[in-house]
Amino acid sequence: MVRIAVIGIGGWGKNHVRVLNELDALAAVCDANRERMQLYSKKYRVTGYESVDSMVKKEKLDGVTICTPASTHFAIASKVLGESLNTFVEKPMTTTSKDGESLIELAKKARRVLTVGFIERFNPPISDLKKMITEGRLGAPILLEFHRENRRGDVLDVGIVKDASVHDIDTARWLFGEEPRVVFARVGNVKSDNEDFAAIMLGFGEQRTAFITTNWVTPARVRTLEAVFENGVVNVDFVSQQTQVHEEDGTRMPKLVIQEPLMLELKEYLAAIDEKRQPLVRGEDGLMVTRIAEAVLASSHSGTPIFMKP
Ligand SMILES: NC(=O)c1ccc[n+]([C@@H]2O[C@H](COP(=O)([O-])OP(=O)(O)OC[C@H]3O[C@@H](n4cnc5c(N)ncnc54)[C@H](O)[C@@H]3O)[C@@H](O)[C@H]2O)c1
C-alpha cells in the first residue's frame, strides 16, 4: 500500500484528501491553518500536522501531494524531495523556470517521482482526443482553440497565465506532441492587480497553432476546446465531458462515460510510485509549461513574438 500525505487542504486539496482516502492511500494531512487541519484529520481519521517539518519527522510516508498556493510550491517540494519522498505538485509546478530546473535535479538525485497537476490530460474527452490524434482517423491536427473563462473575485499569488492558462498550454503541447517554437500573447487586468485575462498564440511545427483564451471576467464557466483536423473538427466541453465529432458525412457524439479526472490522475501517481516508473506528467512538463508561461508574459510586455530555444 502506498502512503500519501496531502499538504494544503484548501479549496482544491480537500478533493485530494477525499480521493486518496477512497484509494486507501491517505496517510496524513498537513495544513498551516490549524482549524482546517483538525477538521480533515478528524473527518478522515488520519494524523494532522500544522507543519511539513513535523510531519516528515514523524510519519513514514511514500509521498505527498502539494496543494498549497503556487508561491509555496518550490520550498515545500524541495523539502520533501530532500527527504526522498515521491512528490505530486499542483500546477503551476513552480512560479519560475529556474526553480523548476532545481526540482527536477532534486528528483533525479532522490530517484523519486516528480509529477505536476495537469489534470486535463486525465479528463476522458482529452485522453480520447489524444487517442484520436495518435490513430490518425481525422488526419493531422492543425488548430486547437481553447476557452477557459469564469468570474473570479479573490486575489491569488500568481496571475491567470501561471494559474489557469498553464492547463491549456500543457494540453496543447501534449496533443501536438511537441513544444511550441514561437509564443505571442497579450495579457491585461480588468478586475484584479495581477493579470486576469490572456490571449495566447502558440506556433508549433509547420502550421500547427494553438489559441488559448483565458479570463476571470466572463460571468459564466466556459471550458471548451475546438480541435480542427485535416478531415474533421472535434468540440470538447471540459466540464460536461461531452465531445462532438464533425466529419463530412455528419456529426456524432461518442457515448458519455463520466469519470472523475482527479481520481484517474491520482491513480496514475500511485501506479508510478508502485511500479517505480516515470509518470504520464513529468517534472520536465512542469518546467516547459513554466518556461512557456514566462514567454507569454515577456511577449505581452514587449509586444513581440518570443522564439523558444529548441
Ligand atoms: N488541478 C486543478 O484543477 C486545480 C484546481 C484548483 C486549484 N489547483 C491548485 O491547487 C493549489 C491550491 O489551490 P487552492 O485553491 O486549494 O488554494 P487555497 O488557498 O484554497 O488552499 C491552500 C491551503 O494551503 C494551506 N497552506 C499554505 N501554505 C502552507 C504551508 N506552508 N504548509 C501547509 N499548508 C499551507 C493554506 O492554509 C490553505 O488551506 C494551487 O497550486 C492551485 O493552482 C488546482
Domain ranges in the chain?
4-117+274-282, 120-262+291-307
Q: What is the pLDDT of residue 42?
A: 98
Ligand 1 atom at minimum distance from 9 CA = 39
Q: What is the pLDDT of residue 41?
A: 98
Average of per-residue pLDDT across 185-209: 94
Q: What is the pLDDT of residue 246?
A: 98
The rounded Å distance from CA 72 to ligand 1 centre is 9
Mean predicted lDDT score pLDDT of the chain: 97
Average of per-residue pLDDT across 233-255: 96
Of the residues 19, 90, 123, 214, which should be mutated to test ligand 1's pocket, given the most ligand atoms within 8 Å of the CB? 90
Q: Is the CB of 134 under 6 A from ligand 1?
A: no
Decide if pLDDT at 116 tops 80: yes
pLDDT band at 155 (very low <50, low <70, confident <90, very high): confident
The protein residue whose alpha carbon is closest to atom 43 in ligand 1 is 91
- 3-class secondary structure per residue, the chain: CCCEEEECCCCCHHHHHHHHHHCCCEEEEECCCHHHHHHHHHHHCCEEECCHHHHHHHCCCCEEEECCCHHHHHHHHHHHHHCCCEEEECCCCCCCHHHHHHHHHHHHHHCCCEEECCHHHHCHHHHHHHHHHHHCCCCCEEEEEEEEECCCCCCCCCCHHHHHHHHHHHHHHHHHCCCCCEEEEEEECCCCCCCCEEEEEEECCCCCEEEEEEECCCCCCEEEEEEEECCEEEEEECCCCCEEEEECCEEECCCCCCCCHHHHHHHHHHHHHHCCCCCCCCHHHHHHHHHHHHHHHHHHHHCCCEECCC
C-alpha cell at 266: 491520482
* The model's pTM: 0.98
Q: What is the pLDDT of residue 193?
A: 84
The rounded Å distance from CA 79 to ligand 1 centre is 17
Q: What is the pLDDT of residue 303?
A: 98
Q: Is the CB of 106 under 6 A from ligand 1?
A: no
pLDDT band at 310 (very low <50, low <70, confident <90, very high): confident
Q: What is the pLDDT of residue 50?
A: 98
Q: What is the pLDDT of residue 136?
A: 95
Q: Is the CB of 283 under 6 A from ligand 1?
A: no
The protein residue whose alpha carbon is closest to atom 11 in ligand 1 is 67
Decide if pLDDT at 154 tops 90: no
Q: Is the CB of 29 under 6 A from ligand 1?
A: no
Q: Which of 16-20, 48-52, 188-192 is the least confident region?
A: 188-192
Q: What is the pLDDT of residue 152?
A: 85
Q: Do domains 4-117+274-282 and 120-262+291-307 have the same CATH topology?
A: no
**Architecture (CATH level 2) of domain 4-117+274-282:** 3-Layer(aba) Sandwich (3.40)
Q: Which of 101-110, 187-196, 239-248 is the least confident region?
A: 187-196
C-alpha cell at 307: 522564439
Q: What is the pLDDT of residue 277?
A: 97
Decide if pLDDT at 156 tops 90: no
Q: What is the CATH number of domain 120-262+291-307?
A: 3.30.360.10
Average of per-residue pLDDT across 148-171: 92
Q: What is the pLDDT of residue 268?
A: 98
Decide if pLDDT at 115 tops 80: yes
The phi and psi torsions of 179 (rounded to 5 degrees) equal -95, 150
Query: In this prediction, what percent of the chain has a pLDDT beyond 70?
Result: 100
pLDDT band at 175 (very low <50, low <70, confident <90, very high): very high
The rounded Å distance from CA 14 to ligand 1 centre is 9
Average of per-residue pLDDT across 161-179: 98
